[in-house]
Amino acid sequence: MEEGASAAAEEESAEPVVLAEGDFVSQEHGTSGTVAVLELSDGSRHVRLEDLATSDGPDLHVWITDQEAGGDWFKYRDGRYVTLGELRGTHGSANYEIPADADISGMTSVVIWCDRFSVAFGSAPVEL
């Protein structure tokens, strides 16, 4: 393989692999934007929020869960979920690392969750 072709192949393999993606739907508060679940070349996995727009709220977190997106938000605490950390901003784009030991098989949505009031501001379907 030529040197230029080898470098191009390495660069191509360094691109993240999209494992799942979806669009936010509003629940307790108007929420829009997109979500992508990505796997990087080093094996780490991340949730990428793009163009997020939601309301300000206290104690907002990002979850990945086995409950379906949309509908009744009471269901999220009853299922299996992984907390990815505090929401970094109500508007814009950000990455959230999924813990290396987290089992995300069977997860079906990403949720913007308010811990203080136990409500989902919005969620996006992702099929893993």
CATH 2.60.40.200 fits 15-125, yes or no: yes
pLDDT in tens, 19-50: 999 999 999 999 999 999 999 999 999 999 99
Find tokens 């949309």 and name the residue: 70
pTM comes to: 0.87
Q: Where are the domains of the chain?
A: 15-125
Question: CA-based angle 126:46:36, to the nearest 5?
Answer: 35
For the record, the structure tokens of 77 come out as: 């605490």
Q: Please report which confidence band the pLDDT of residue 124 belongs to, taking 50, 70 and 90 as the band edges.
A: very high
